[in-house]
């Protein structure tokens, strides 16, 4: 497992970061992180689009899902009818979860890249990647990418709040439905909207500014991506 993680995630990201740092003007690590983040998000775009599409379709299916719940009292039959409805509308309810799973090793790989520092270990570098003659860890001459940054941590939390607000379906609890499931969904919705951004901001401040910058750029890119896809899908659906 460790070999696969190193081979598929850590080494490629490490080499990509070193390569980008070596070719951009002033060898600014901050700009290299931004470019690398955008490249990663573009690669993940097909999965992101599928996840966003699924969310919009699920939102439109809410009346039918509610009808299934009211018509069929048996839980097994409800699940069967629900999955049939998903299949009919080509919806994968787990696509968003899969997207999160894919991003987790990328974030961890970036964390370890900066935790160890860019020491330019030639045993890790690919043959075509050249070691930069010098390297600038001060992004825009202001923020040390190897240190903590309160500014970037706050921006990571704020951008996460808006990204979550856009991506999550607004949950409107039924006042007459006091079931455990209804209350649990309401609680999870509130935590995702308000607790998660605070948690992200806290974690971003505990680690290097480079990873915090990745979070900020990733969230901003995702916000723009989701607004674009949502606008396009609303015209098609």
Q: What digits encode the pLDDT tens for the residues 41-58?
A: 888 888 777 777 777 777
The pLDDT, as a whole number, for residue 157 is: 93
**Domain housing 64:** 2-236
Please report the pLDDT score of residue 170 as a whole number: 45
Number of domains in the chain: 1
Q: Which residues of the chain have pLDDT under 70?
A: 1, 93-99, 114-121, 168-191, 234-237
Q: Specify the pTM.
A: 0.77
Residue-level pLDDT at 217: 93
Give Cβ neighbours of residue 109 (< 8 Å, ≥ 6 apart).
5, 9, 10, 13, 14
User: Which residues are bridge partners to 139 per DSSP?
Assistant: 143
Structure confidence at residue 104 (pLDDT): 78
In this structure, what are the phi and psi dihedrals at residue 138, rounded to the nearest 5 degrees?
A: -90, 100
Q: So what's the pLDDT on residue 171?
A: 46
3-state helix, strand, coil split of the chain in percent (to 5) is 75, 5, 25
Q: Do 14 and 124 touch, CB atoms closer than 8 A?
A: yes
């Amino acid at each position: 497992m460790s070999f696969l993680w190193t081979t598929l995630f850590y080494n490629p990201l490490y080499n990509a970061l070193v390569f980008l740092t070596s070719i951009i003007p002033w060898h600014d690590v901050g700009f290299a992180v931004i470019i690398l983040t955008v490249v990663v998000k573009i690669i993940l775009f097909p999965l992101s689009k599928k996840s966003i599409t699924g969310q919009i379709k699920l939102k439109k299916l809410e009346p039918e899902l509610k009808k299934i719940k009211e018509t069929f009292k048996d839980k097994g039959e409800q699940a069967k009818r629900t999955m049939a409805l998903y299949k009919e509308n080509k919806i994968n309810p787990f696509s968003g979860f899969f997207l999160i799973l894919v991003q987790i090793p990328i974030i961890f790989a970036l964390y370890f890249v900066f935790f160890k520092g860019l020491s330019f270990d030639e045993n890790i570098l690919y043959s075509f990647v050249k070691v930069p003659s010098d390297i600038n860890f001060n992004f825009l001459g202001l923020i040390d990418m190897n240190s903590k940054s309160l500014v970037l941590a706050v921006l990571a939390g704020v951008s996460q709040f808006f990204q979550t607000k856009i991506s999550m379906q607004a949950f409107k609890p039924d006042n007459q439905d006091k079931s455990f499931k209804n209350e649990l969904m309401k609680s999870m919705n509130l935590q995702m909207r308000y607790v998660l951004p605070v948690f992200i901001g806290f974690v971003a401040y505990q680690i290097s500014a480079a990873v915090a910058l990745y979070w900020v750029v990733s969230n901003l890119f995702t916000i723009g991506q989701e607004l674009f896809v949502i606008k396009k899908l609303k015209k098609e659906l």
